[in-house]
Amino acid sequence: MTIKNAMVLAAGLGTRLRPITDRMPKPLVQVGGRAMIDYALDSLADAGVTRAVVNVHHFADQMETHLAAYPRLDVAVSDERDALMNSGGGLVKGLTLIEPGRVFVMNADLFWIGENAGEKTNLQRLAEFFDPERMDMALLCVPIENTTGHNGKKDFGLAADGQLVRFTEGSGEAVVYAGAIVLDTSLFNDAPQDAFNLNIYFDRAIAAGRLYGISLEGHWLTVGTPDALVEAEAVLQQAGVNA
């Protein structure tokens, strides 16, 4: 199934990336010669998405200018200038700007390289994997050895059938949440309208046995600090994908 709509979470302050983010929003920081958010937007376009909502707060005017010039998607802005809504509240607010149904949800400050040309992309694989009869959400995950810039924390244990639980020793393959989800917007029919953390819905899904995931193909990068930015640049240069 091709998913046409997406929400990109991009409203954070990027405090750990200071002093760079004292003058620009984190999603517009250049990595490999391109704004970070463009990697996420390109991944969505490659997967068949046609419309994406992006929430903005920090240097919102810069974000709006950049998004208006992005050529591959119809991009709508969810304005959080007045108050940050956290990951869950921002998602629920942004989803009002797209049609109900299945959507991708992505973070704007991480991406991956190394997908196999001519094969289904990671997001296409995730969309096909999602089964709303069994799942509240399907998460794209990554083995910790295939990450750059990560703090080393193991987020989930991944079972052979794809079921996810919070990581403990013996809970399955140790994986990191790679910042991409497929879900149906009906999951938030009863959601609060103020700020809340999306982890609440992760934990609810785990308790119900309805949180699942797959491992991405390739190498995953997150750029949360100046040191991580240097590491990401080195990985991209070595892989020959710098702009």
- pLDDT tens digits for range 93-142: 999 999 999 999 999 988 999 998 889 999 999 999 999 999 999 999 99
Mean pLDDT of 28-51: 94
pLDDT of residue 148: 86
- What is the mean predicted confidence (pLDDT) over 176-180? 95
Q: How far apart are CA 232 and CA 226, in angstroms?
A: 10
Query: What pLDDT is stored for residue 58 in this prediction?
Result: 87
- pLDDT of res. 118: 86
Q: Supply 33's token pair.
A: 């010669």
The pLDDT of 27-54, averaged and rounded, is 94
Task: Report pLDDT for 87.
Answer: 86
Condensed to tens digits (0 to 9), the pLDDT of residues 58-86 reads 888 999 999 999 999 999 999 889 888 89
- Has residue 170 got a pLDDT over 70? no
Domain with 221 in it: 5-239
Burial of 29-61, coded b for 16+ CB within 10 Å and e otherwise, reads bebbebbbbbbbbebbbebebebbbbbbbbbbe
Burial 126-157 (b: 16+ CB within 10 A, else e): bbebbeeeebbbbbbbbebebbbbbeeebbbb
How many residues make up the chain in this entry? 243
Q: Which band of pLDDT confidence, cut at 50, 70 and 90, is reported for residue 13?
A: confident
pLDDT of residue 128: 96
Peptide bond just before 192 cis, omega within 30 deg? no
Question: What CATH number is attached to the domain comprising 70?
Answer: 3.90.550.10
Mean pLDDT of 191-196: 86
Q: HSE-up of 73 (CA within 13 Å, CB side)?
A: 28
Residue 243 has pLDDT above 60, yes or no: no
**Tokens (6 digits) for 15:** 């405090």
Q: pTM of this prediction? A: 0.92
Q: Rounded CA gap, 202 and 136, in Å? A: 9
pLDDT of residue 242: 59
Mean of pLDDT values over 37-45: 95
Q: How many domains does the chain have?
A: 1
